[in-house]
Copies of this chain bind each other. A is one copy, B any other.
Amino acid sequence: MSLLVVGSVAFDALETPFGKVERTLGGAATYFSVAASYFTHVNLVGVVGDDFTKSDAAVFKGRRIDISGLERAPGKTFFWAGRYGADPNERVTLATELNVFASFQPKLPEAFRASRHVFLANIDPTLQHSVLRQISGKPRMVALDTMNYWIEKTPAELRTILAHTQILMINDMEARMLSNEHNLLRAARHIFKLGPKALVVKRGEHGAMMVHDGGIFSVPAFPLEEVHDPTGAGDSFAGGFMGYLSSAPRLDDGVMRRAMVYGSVMGSFAVEKFGLERIRRVTRREIDTRAKHFYKLTQFKL
């Protein structure tokens, strides 16, 4: 079933202990849609500048990604430059140039309005809301990401869109900031009052946790000897999660748990190489093999 993603498409300059790239395609919607396309059909809405070339668009080709909602605006594409330390959590932002993204007004092509699953990547909550208003009917599932900036600057707008959200997917720091609770279970209870029925907390090298009516489910990060580039891990996680979920006939606890695992699988592939290099070339067979590795990593008998 169709999955809509609205978010950033960007060029990234990245530096990690394993190397450096001057300009590689990135952005939340990019990582998300590539990751999700292994599981379902994805409708992408975003904006790029006139520096976005055919070869940049090649990453979307030959996949189940419809980029008819990828608007082209005069000016330059969103640009982000960052550096990571030996500890992947130590991220320094060197540059953020919004460029065409600064005046982005998401417009859903007619065909996208029937999307049954929606992922609102981390953008202005007012824009996230405008996306939902363009959807016809009630979607089966709306998931949302946000960040400290919106939690602080636009709390009212964020609350409005949260009331329409079923799954909130944020990191632990954001969960704490949004709820004013250090403890993540208490944070979840606070967040459920705002609308979401499920909280998915992305914890980087510590894995991910889901709290919902079905209980609590925890999955570790996949142990890798080398994390080449942490960029996009969270969005790839979201892509695997929502991609799997969108393809499932029912939405029960078992499906949600598997979605957590497939999200973790895609996040783990994303960080193995720079930019999209790994997740654009992974095979469905490799995805299923890694899911089995997650099984081996966590299962026990009593």
A residues apposed to B, CB below 8 Å? 86-87, 182-186, 203, 206-207, 209, 211, 215-220, 223-227, 254, 257-258, 260-261, 288, 291-292, 295-302
Contact A300 B223, beta carbon cutoff 8 Å: no
CB distance from A268 to the nearest CB of B (A): 13
A2 to B157, CA, bound (A): 62
A184 to B207, CA, bound (A): 14
Please name the residue on chain B nearest to A256 by beta carbon: B300
B-side contacts of A297, CB under 8 Å: 215-218
Number of copies: 2
Given contacts A87-B182, A183-B227, A298-B298, 13 further A-B contacts (CB under 8 A): A185-B224, A186-B225, A203-B206, A207-B218, A211-B223, A216-B223, A218-B298, A254-B301, A261-B300, A291-B302, A292-B302, A298-B300, A299-B299
A288 to B302, CA, bound (A): 9
B-side contacts of A217, CB under 8 Å: 297-298, 300
Contact B185 A225, beta carbon cutoff 8 Å: yes
CB distance from A231 to the nearest CB of B (A): 18
CB distance from A189 to the nearest CB of B (A): 8
CB distance from A259 to the nearest CB of B (A): 10
Contact B296 A183, beta carbon cutoff 8 Å: no
Please name the residue on chain B nearest to A217 by beta carbon: B297
Contact A295 B300, beta carbon cutoff 8 Å: yes
Contact A302 B298, beta carbon cutoff 8 Å: no
Contact B220 A300, beta carbon cutoff 8 Å: no
Contact A300 B226, beta carbon cutoff 8 Å: no
A204 to B206, CA, bound (A): 11
A300 to B293, CA, bound (A): 12
A299 to B183, CA, bound (A): 23
CB < 8 Å: which of B182, B225, B226 contacts A86? B182
19 interchain pairs, CB-CB under 8 A: A86-B182, A183-B227, A185-B225, A186-B225, A206-B206, A206-B207, A207-B218, A209-B220, A215-B296, A215-B297, A217-B298, A218-B297, A219-B298, A220-B220, A254-B300, A260-B300, A261-B300, A261-B302, A295-B302
Q: Which 4 A-B pairs have the closest CB atoms?
A: A218-B220, A257-B300, A206-B206, A86-B182
Contact A223 B261, beta carbon cutoff 8 Å: no
